Structure 1
Amino acid sequence: MDPDEDELKQLCLGIVEEADAAAVTPGIVRQELRVEHDIVYEDNRVFEVMHEMEDNGELIYHLGEYNEFAVPE
């Protein structure tokens, strides 16, 4: 299954919002996409989409050492 980019962004946002952590990595999002939604993407694609979402203000870059993202408050 390969959702379009808007659907991928919505799924990423939902995963970040539902996380039980202050911020999540693209790897965690990728794992959730695979396990919960049966969607497989390479790490780089998810990372790129999450950075695009950061540029658009949909996510914020959490200044951790593991490329973590969070939802703006």
Structure 2
Amino acid sequence: MDDLARRLVIARGDSIAHQKLLNELSNIDLLIIDDFLTVGVDSDAASDLFAILAICEHRLPTMIASQTGPAR
């Protein structure tokens, strides 16, 4: 998750690279996000992440894993 958030933030500096990254992540056969929300992400990266998840919903499998308990 940390690496993904970092890549999203960096890609935002170049709109073409940003859209390309979003497209790649939205069309991946199996999206696996590990350590989900165990580190803070900025609002732009969170918005991108939730957009990707919304695009994948009911289309492609997504696995989300976290070491964080529900109370957190």
Superposed pair shares fold, TM > 0.5: no
Larger of the two Rg values belongs to structure: 2
* TM-score normalized by the length of structure 2: 0.34
* TM-score normalized by the length of structure 1: 0.34
Q: Choose between structure 1 and 2 for higher RCO, CA contacts under 8 A separated by at least 6 residues.
A: 2
